[in-house]
Amino acid sequence: MKISDLKIKSKKNKYILNIIIVVLMIYFAYVIYLLVKQPTDIFTVEEGKLYSEESDIGYIIRDEVVVKGNQYKNGMEQIKNEGEKVAKNEDIFRYYSKNEESLVTQIAELDTKIQEALKNQEVRYLSDVKILEDQIDQQMDNINKVTDISKITECEKQINQLITKKAKIVGEKSPSGSYLKDLNDQRAKLEQELNNGSETITAPKSGILSYRVDGLEDKLTVDNFSSLSEEYLENLNLKTGKLIATSDECGKIVDNFTAYIATISTSEQSKQAKIGDKVKIRLSNSKEINAEISYISQENEEKTLLVLKISNEIDELCNYRKISFDLIWWSYTGLKVPNQSIVEQDGLKYVVRNRAGYLSKILVKVEKQNDKYSIITNYTSEELKELGYTSSEITNMKNISIYDEILLTPNLNNTE
């Protein structure tokens, strides 16, 4: 074979090889395209939830009464804890007397002397004393079981009273009881001076006790929502999400049944809202609570002032005055599908189901829809009759179900 013939044959082989390579590249590209394309062409129907919501800033308005005594500069002792529910006229906190520290120290020293004196007594009258000792032991056990400061304080108070009673009995009946009696008299005198010099504050009404007082209790009230405006709220200069500081001078009683959130909304839904409309609120802790629109004021063409009434999470909201939250206008649960998978024909809505390659046109009812998704369901037999379908057609009609696969971009002409 001539050299020229070999060269021609080599060129032909190289040309054929190049063609094969190109064909293989096209084939693999097509396979990859199918692998990538296929999942986005099919959508699996699942249970889902749709929202129409917006993110807003809210100002907490409560029915609250500040409670403050005359001796607030002496410092205070909490009888009831932050967030605790209290009844009307129940003791909630007390102000110290001017010489409280000195008096408490003297009483503690006398208690030590009384207990030492009791140890040195020979007690032969066991009945009353034994009962008191059992009660003292019980209170000691209670202290070890509780962590609530107010309950521990109450147990300590009970113990001191029981020890005093025991000392009094022993002092009266013991031959050498004059010393104990003298100690008890001194203690009673100091305790009376302590009580007379202090000031105990009671709850003016029932509700939640809070020591987080910010001075806005008489500015953000439930009595006059018409005084609220965007300018008024902004001029309060509050920081969103900031905890209200705890006061050491006063407390307040908060209505534990109802609170309000004032907010400025720019959504279209707010412009169409009406007093009494039911909505939901999602707080920063992800909890969703029911709310009702209690007041509406149109600030301008773009902004609407809303006051929302709530009845849950009030104790949690006592910690704040200004919060961020989500206002949920509506939510709907059901079979969730992309809007693009729904086709309209002759005023009715359809999806195309794919089962093992068989494409079926299925009539569906769109319950709710947002920008991306819809909640769909099947028509009832009664509804289908109203649409004009016969009993035979209704019996043979296919339904959409959870986990069905539907086409994302359906063509009704290709269905069976």
Grade residue 117 by pLDDT with cuts at 50, 70 and 90. Answer: low
Q: Where are the domains of the chain?
A: 3-42, 55-65+212-333, 97-197, 342-414
Percent of the chain beyond pLDDT 90? 54
123 vs 285, which has greater pLDDT? 285
- Please tell me the distance from the alpha carbon of residue 217 to that of residue 244, in angstroms, as a whole number: 12
Question: Which of 116-130, 188-202, 267-281, 288-302 shows the lowest per-residue confidence on average (mean pLDDT)?
Answer: 116-130
| pLDDT tens, residue by residue, 26-59 | 766 655 554 444 444 899 999 999 989 999 999 9
Structure confidence at residue 104 (pLDDT): 67
If one counts every other C-beta atom within 10 angstroms of the C-beta of residue 351, the result is 25
Structure confidence at residue 39 (pLDDT): 44
Contact yes or no for 398/389 (Cβ under 8 A) = no
Grade residue 158 by pLDDT with cuts at 50, 70 and 90. Answer: confident
97 vs 306, which has greater pLDDT? 306
Structure confidence at residue 9 (pLDDT): 55
Structure confidence at residue 412 (pLDDT): 79
- Please tell me the distance from the alpha carbon of residue 187 to that of residue 247, in angstroms, as a whole number: 32
| pLDDT tens, residue by residue, 191-229 | 766 666 578 899 999 999 999 999 999 999 999 899 999
Contact yes or no for 167/180 (Cβ under 8 A) = yes
If one counts every other C-beta atom within 10 angstroms of the C-beta of residue 236, the result is 13
**pTM here?**
0.65
Average pLDDT value for residue range 84-113:
80
Length of the chain equals 416
pLDDT at residue 159 is higher than 90: no
- Please tell me the distance from the alpha carbon of residue 276 to that of residue 309, in angstroms, as a whole number: 10
Grade residue 112 by pLDDT with cuts at 50, 70 and 90. Answer: confident
Structure confidence at residue 357 (pLDDT): 83
Average pLDDT value for residue range 135-161:
69
If one counts every other C-beta atom within 10 angstroms of the C-beta of residue 128, the result is 13
- Please tell me the distance from the alpha carbon of residue 28 to that of residue 22, in angstroms, as a whole number: 10
Structure confidence at residue 354 (pLDDT): 92
Phi, psi dihedral angles at 99 (to 5 degrees): -105, 30
Question: Across the chain, what does the average pLDDT equal?
Answer: 83
Nearest to 266 by CA among 299, 288, 289: 299
